[in-house]
Structures are given as structure tokens and as C-alpha cells.
Amino acid sequence: MKKAFKKVLNIFYSSEEFILVTHLNPDIDGISSMLSIHLFLKALNKISYPLIEEIPDNVGFLPFSNVLILIENFNKQLKDPWVIVVDTHSPGRINEKIYQRISNYKKFLIIDHHQKEDKSLFSSEQISLIDPSSPSTTFLIYKIFKKSNFKISFEIAYNLLAGLYYDTGCFKYENVNKYVFKVASELCNLGVNPYQIASSLFENISLEEIEGLKIILERLEFLNNESIVISYLTYDDFYRINYKNLGDFANFLRSIKDVKIAAFIKETEKNVVSVSLRSKAPIEVIEFARIFGGGGHKYASGFKLKVKNFYEFLDSFKKLIQEYYGK
């Protein structure tokens, strides 16, 4: 791991231009990771372009979130930049327009904390720093910065803590240990107020999200003696409530008493389903997600799939998950 850190830092210090990208439907950890690296590179007088397909409504509280560049507005022709991919290691998890824009480049740096699922590469020359033991990608980035003896600014610390706080579910997930609190404490010592992050993330629910939650609760279905809970939103639901950046309520479903596995199914595009799977230890969902070509973490995984008919998929999915966890 020490050699990998040195390689990453050498890329940061020896190169001049960078493109930063993260996965489809980016979450706080992915976006905070991009912003943290962007601010780090800026301090080194480097140039970086953090690209995104759509800016979620819940990221405005992050310092320098205004530097995020919509892919449709990015027209620069760069000669030979390093493309830094954060919070994913799979080309299939990158927005199609963004992937088209970066696919001709050769130099890729992958920084991720998900278990490696996909053997496909962005480039034969890519360098990867993947550590599934890290609770968030921002946690891993913090370790990189510490190795460089870089003086972390308040703005970087804020982004790093936001990603860590989000991906540990307010420090309540199975990936939390004493080192998580140690890093969180060090970031707080740089002036970050965790209350502000918590309030921005979890006390800022839009009316559209409330409308979505009402539909989700009405459709709750319990399986396998109520140990599995499933709910869903269709494409028509999203069109009706006019809200694309709806929060992922899978974690909320998992919090229901006696539930061990939660599945939240979203049809955000016509006949394209995005399924979020959550579970309580020791039951894992990652192997089940792999059946559909997905992946993630032991207790938090997911997949995206094209289907012929949403309701036919829903019926077959319910049967499969009951059979799989009915062993």
C-alpha cells in the first residue's frame, strides 16, 4: 500500500492537467472525493476539471461545489491529461457521455474503496489504488494527503469529513472502527463542524423526496417472514413528482425492525432499473448483486439493468431474492 501511495503522489506532483470523474448518480463520497483532490491540485498550482453528468440538489453545502463542470459544458481539448476516477473502478459505472469524453485518453488513476468486481480496464496503462477496508473513498484520500505531509485546508477537510460521514451512515454502519473516529477527530480539529454536515445531509429533505417516500411506504412488501423488505418507484413516479435526484431510501428500509435485507428498486429511465441492496451483518448482499453484474460492499451493494418490462422484472426479482435467502 505504501508503494501505491507513492505512485499516486508522484502522479499528482509530476503532472500538470487532470480530469476528475466519479460514478453514475454520484453520491456525497464520490463528489467530495473529486472536490478534495481538485482543491489539493489547485494548491499545487495544477489544473483539474471535475466533470459530472448532473449536479445533485444536496451538494450545494460542500465547499467549492460550484467548480463542478457539467459534461455538456466541457469543450476543452486536452493533450495528455491524467484521468482520476474516484469511488468506482469500473468503466461500466461511468456516465455514458463522460466515458465517451475520456475513453481516448491513456493515463488513468483509480482511487476506490469498493471490492473489486470488474476486470475491465479504462486503459492498459491505468494505476489503481483500491482499498476495500477503507470506509469511504475520502478516508483513503485523507491517507494519501497525510503521506504527502500536505497541510489540509478547512475546505478540503470539510469535503473529506462529509464523504466519510455519508458513507458510514452517520457512523452507524459495519465499516466503522476506531480509526474512523480518529480521522474524523483530526478533520474536526481543522475547524470542521460535524453538526453542519449532518444537518445539511439529513435535515434538508425536499418536498419531492417526501412525496417519493410516501409512495415507497405505500408499496412496502415484506418477504421471507418479514426478514426482507422491498419497495420501488417507477419511471412514471419520477415523471409525476418531477424529481430525478431522489435520495436512496434503501438504508431507511433496512432500519425497519426485524428486517435483515432491504431492496429499493428505481426505474429512473424507461425500462432501466437501478437496485440498491442493503443488509444487516452477518447477512451479505454483494454476492446476490453479482448475479446481476453488480457489486459494492458486503452489506451495501447494487446493480443497474436494462429490462423489457418493469413489472415483469419486479416479479422475477422478488422470487429470486426469496429463493436466494431462503436457503
Can you give the residue ranges of every domain in the chain?
A: 2-202, 208-324
Residue 103: Cβ within 10 Å count: 12
Calpha distance 67→80 (Å, rounded)? 22
Residue 17: Cβ within 10 Å count: 15
Which of the residue ranges 40-44, 88-92, 159-163 would you say has the lowest mean pLDDT? 88-92
For residue 285, count CB atoms less than 10 angstroms from its CB and return exposed for 0-12, middle for 13-18, buried for 19 or more.
Answer: buried
CA dihedral (178, 31, 115, 268) in degrees, to 10, reads 130
pLDDT of residue 11: 95
pLDDT of residue 209: 84
| CATH class of the domain comprising 2-202 | alpha beta
Q: Establish whether domains 2-202 and 208-324 are of one fold.
A: no
Residue 113's nearest CA partner among 143, 90, 133, 93 is: 133
On the question of pLDDT at 67 being above 80, the answer is yes
Backbone angles phi and psi of 215, in degrees to 5:
-65, -40
Q: What are the E-state strand segments in the chain?
A: 17-21, 47-52, 69-70, 82-86, 107-112, 127-130, 221-223, 228-233, 261-269, 272-279, 295-296, 300-306
Residue 109's nearest CA partner among 204, 252, 202, 6 is: 6
Band of pLDDT at residue 247, cut at 50, 70 and 90: low
Query: Which residues does 208 contact at the CB level (< 8 Å), separation at least 6?
Result: 241, 242, 243, 246
Calpha distance 318→322 (Å, rounded)? 6
Band of pLDDT at residue 245, cut at 50, 70 and 90: low
Band of pLDDT at residue 101, cut at 50, 70 and 90: very high
Q: Give the fold, CATH level 3, of 208-324.
A: Diaminopimelate Epimerase; Chain A, domain 1 (3.10.310)
Q: Is the Cβ–Cβ distance between 9 and 144 less than 8 Å?
A: yes
pLDDT of residue 208: 84
Residue 216: half-sphere exposure toward Cβ, Cα within 13 Å: 26
Q: Is the Cβ–Cβ distance between 85 and 122 less than 8 Å?
A: yes
Q: Is the Cβ–Cβ distance between 157 and 163 less than 8 Å?
A: no
Per residue in 19-65, pLDDT (tens digit) is: 999 998 899 999 999 999 999 999 999 999 999 998 888 899 999 99
> pTM to 2 decimals?
0.86
Calpha distance 32→16 (Å, rounded)? 21
